[in-house]
Amino acid sequence: MSLRITVTGGAGFLGSHLCDRLVAEGHEVLCVDNFFTGRRANVTQLLPNANFEVLRHDVTFPLYVETDHIYNLACPASPIHYQFDPVQTTKTSVHGAINMLGLAKRVKARILQASTSEVYGDPEVHPQIESYWGRVNPVGPRSCYDEGKRCAETLFFDYRRQHGLDIKVVRIFNTYGPRMALNDGRVVSNFIVQALKGDDITIYGDGNQTRSFCYVDDLVDGFLKMMGTENGFCGPVNLGNPVEFTIAELAEKVVSLCGGRSKVVYQPLPQDDPQQRQPDISVARERLEWEPKVALSDGLKETIGYFRKVLA
């Protein structure tokens, strides 16, 4: 069945891949983006399609459209971008959630919130499970993003309790793939760009902190499965790859795959940067029948190929 689907942040890294998949499935897709971090180049391939439309709009202002499903992905997600204007970042998460929930309430749409593993902060529980309340610094330089996303989750569940809204909440762990921004400061794109340029690979901290890396195609599968759940299941659900790597191991893999001679240099760890990040995906396996399929080496090859073209 063809649906009218709105994707906020639709020209961003994750949003553009989601738009690709939804259009391929025959849906009418409205991509909503203010192009702060999203890029028109990410959705150029979709513009000739009659089922695809782009609207330049900031979700901190109300949106009036007709839609069946809403994916709320709008928010800068890398520290460089979300710390550039932290007040606006919080507004995007909080006012954006209020406006998109208001839209969903008016048109009786199902709405999915793209939350984040950052709601767990620098965790004392490892791996992180959905029932863990987190350890977040409410006044630090990352708080605009962490607390903004936590508040958005609160709003989603309050709209469900108060208005009976059909909500879905997913918590995204580190995701990578083609269309990541060159300058977003994320570890995968940083390492790849540095290696392809022959620059030193910069590791913040001692390199023993861990992350788990999910390829973008796997994450989009999780989005679609979550949006398709019935029987009132609303989450939150962790979406990420449970295979854990140290940052030093990631650097070694990237240098090997890029074929460069970059050497590793170490810089101080930023404030409140979490030491461990690994999802427990038991709920996703059980309720969504979802788990990642793409191995890190395979996903890195695709991502490196993309960045080679961009840098060329």
Token pair belonging to 265: 């240099």
Residues 89/76, Cβ–Cβ less than 8 Å = yes
CA distance readout (Å), 18 to 99, 152, 165, 167: 21, 21, 23, 18
Instruction: Report CA torsion sign: 96, 101, 102, 103.
Output: positive
Active site residue 145: yes
Name the H helices within 164-295: 187-197, 216-227, 247-258, 282-283
SS (H, E, C) 127-145: CECCCCCCECCCCCCCHHH
Contacts of 55 (CB under 8 A, 6+ apart): 30, 31, 32, 33, 65
Q: Residue 14 and residue 184: Cα distance in Å, rounded?
A: 13
Residues 146/171, Cβ–Cβ less than 8 Å = no
Q: Choose, from 71, 82, 120, 145, the residue flagged as catalytic.
A: 145
List residues with catalytic annotation. Answer: 145
